[in-house]
Amino acid sequence: MVAAASSRRVRPPERRVILALAVFVAWWLIAGFGWGIPARALQLAGSVVGFGAAFMLGARLNARQRGRLEAVIVDLGISTASLGLIGFVLHTHPLAMASQDVWRLAGVLTYPNATGVLLALTVPFAIANDGGSERWRRAAAFVILTGLLATLSRGAVLAALVSLPLLDRGRLRATLWPALLAVSTALVLLTTVSTGPRKPCLEPLVWGCGTFGLAQVLAFAALGTGLALAVRGPHRLKGPYRLVVATGLLAFAVAGSVSLRSTLAARADLAGVDARFESWSAALAELERSPVVGVGPERSLVMNGGRQFTYFAHNEYLQIGAGAGIVGLVLLGVALTSLVRAARASGNPRSRVVTASLLALGAGGLFDFVWHLPAVGMTAGWVASLYIGGGYRAVDSAQSPDPSDATESAPPPVRAASSPSRPAPDSGPATAAPGANSAESVGGRANVRGQGYWTLRRAISGRTHFRRHQD
């Protein structure tokens, strides 16, 4: 990455981001070796390297490829949520896991909170994706939001909510319908399958474990019905059908709230929040013990007066501060600043969507160690690369235009006049193109517009004054 960033083909904003990430990774690894625990430094270092590699690759994409990349990010969210929902309904480990006496969607990352943050990364693109039809956007939003809610991850849901104010209001209004269906479907899933037997199914054929019963049938029926209604849209439903659907959704919400008292109470229990505060306090204590260089990556954080310990602070900012000290936090800030400067320099109209997605990642890092998963880091790198490409290529092409492009875009040449005092044969007024050059004859006898500069130079006599207008 450092060698590639030193190439002349890498633009300065990209180079600054990559070099800042490289310096941060180097310091993180030095801290690991210095404190004698290099193996524990590899998780976050690998995730940051994956972010930088995906960022560099994505920055090389053209406009069409960047549009396809946005669609792939949405597809990633759909596939992650779909596989996780199947495992959640069928209690298939590790796609689903039992925690605090409830089943939670864990997905292919095998960790509910990390899967929730990954889905939160894709929510802004599912809402604001320009590719595909409106039906496809509603279906994608429904599947991703249902999977996000099935993770029962409070931090991931909060991260997704934080990103919404940056999105277009019209798109947000269009997403209200699939969002309402996702909430109702998630309530049905949590009512039917989240409180099932705690024994996970480890067999390839999940129904061989005896976990496929009436609850699973109802859950799959709710998923199918919700998806069909999301694709159809509220405007396709006539008056009586809208009343039936609204009544059914309200009944689902009331019944789900009553039947999910134990499930929601387990997730609303302050015991998990207290454990977070304990780990945060332990990380702050380690930062105070060695504020400049930290105490090394993922050292044991002592909690509850020495009776418990944990490797992770469940807060990435405190984790980096405890492991790499103020130096690590400053280097992280430099990397983030470089990324912000690259975003401002690009002039990409999709920057708000990208910012919303990365803001979800930053908010998710406040509540768990999600940055330590390379899959999340690489996905965030692809997202961040969408900052790049719009403005830089336009500037480069304006500074060094391709002669072949001008030749291809120029209109056919016009035969020059036989005498300098006589104008060229009348061939009809030329249609002006946006940003085209113009020429005016001395004395106002001719006013020819819309033809290319070299065509006019060949066509009009030497007494004509040429004035080039740059768009």
What's the whole-model pTM score?
A: 0.76
Does 94 sit behind a cis peptide bond, omega within 30 degrees of 0 on the bond before it?
Answer: yes
- SS3 (DSSP) at 165: helix
The residues near 362 (Cβ < 8 Å, ≥ 6 apart) are none
Q: Tell me the mean pLDDT in the region 203-221.
A: 65
List residues bridging with 188 in a β-sheet: none
Residue-wise pLDDT for 414-466, tens only, equals 444 444 444 444 444 444 444 444 344 444 444 444 444 545 555 554 444 44
Q: Any idea where the domains of the chain sit in the sequence?
A: 2-393, 411-467
Phi-psi region at 40: left, alpha or beta (left = phi > 0; alpha = psi -120 to 50): alpha
Cα distances (angstroms) measured from residue 322 to each of 73, 153, 259: 33, 25, 42
Residue-wise pLDDT for 152-165, tens only, equals 999 999 999 999 99
What integer pLDDT is reported at residue 74 of this predicted model?
95
How far is the C-alpha of 24 from the C-alpha of 28, rounded, in Å?
A: 6
What b/e string do you get for 423-454 counting C-beta neighbours within 10 Å, with b at 16 or more?
beeeeeebeeeeebbbbebeeeeeebbebbee
What integer pLDDT is reported at residue 329 of this predicted model?
95
Q: Mean of the per-residue pLDDT values for the chain?
A: 76
Q: Tell me the mean pLDDT in the region 161-170.
A: 92
Residue-wise pLDDT for 299-342, tens only, equals 777 776 667 777 788 889 999 998 899 999 999 999 999 998 88
Cα distances (angstroms) measured from residue 455 to each of 400, 451, 461: 20, 7, 12
pLDDT at 81 over 80: yes
Single out the residue of 9, 52, 47, 14 nearest to residue 28, CA to CA: 47
Helix spans in 233-366 (H):
239-259, 261-268, 270-289, 316-346, 351-364
Q: Which secondary structure element, helix H or strand E, spans residue 76, and what is its range?
A: helix 63-90
The residues near 397 (Cβ < 8 Å, ≥ 6 apart) are none
